Amino acid sequence: MSQKLSQINGVGQVTVGGSSLPSVRVDVNPTQLNNYGLTIANVQSVLSTQNADLAKGQISDGFVTADIVANDQISIADDYKPIVVGYHNGGAVRLADVANVTDAVSNIRSAGFLNGIPAVMMIIFRQPGANIIQTVDNIRSELPYLKASIPQGIDTTIVLDRTTTIRASVSDVERSLMISVALVILVVFIFLRNPRATLIPSVAVPVSLIARSL
């Protein structure tokens, strides 16, 4: 949703908070690691080489060459546990021997809640110079389509719309302008008592205001 929202006309940046991507967490026990004569750097080096997505070689007949591709990426904790991170007294030391490996999230200290319910918050900023009211209207019009593209059971709620006061201010200005134009036309008509002369300010004043807004 963040990517799709950022493509809406007028949107400059979308910041996502209160969420974290799925990840496998490896909590190393320093005491056990020291007993086996290993360091955290050893574990990190082994994990970075074991979990790779690279071509394993090539097949060529002299004219055509094809890559041998195998996906070695590991996505669950149980597949990490048997990885050999070193050797001690002739025996293999596996990751499960020195660390607690669990399926979790990449950042366990990031969370978001709305009315006590877990939530992912997205803060949307407009582009510099963009009309904020038009931008918000564009976002609201796209929300039904975005909601249809996410799994059922996930609800979307607009928590804060800062254009509420802006819309109220614009409405007050428009109302004041209409009253002012009406008063100008009325005063001209009262003093001149001439419909032709009254027609001039009734056309000139709105046209000048429209020209200034453009």
Question: pLDDT, tens digit, for every residue of 160-189?
Answer: 888 888 888 888 888 888 888 888 888 888
pLDDT at 214 over 60: no
Structure tokens given for 66 = 């094809």
pLDDT of res. 98: 92
Please name the fold of domain 2-19+110-161.
Answer: Alpha-Beta Plaits (3.30.70)
Would you call 141 helix, strand, or coil by DSSP? helix
Nearest to 139 by CA among 153, 154, 118, 160: 160
Domain boundaries, the chain: 2-19+110-161, 22-105, 164-213
- Residue 159 pLDDT more than 70? yes
Work out the number of other CB atoms within 10 angstroms of the CB of residue 169.
11
- Report the pLDDT averaged over residues 119-141: 89
Q: 84 near 92, Cβ under 8 Å?
A: yes
Classify 22-105 by CATH class.
alpha beta
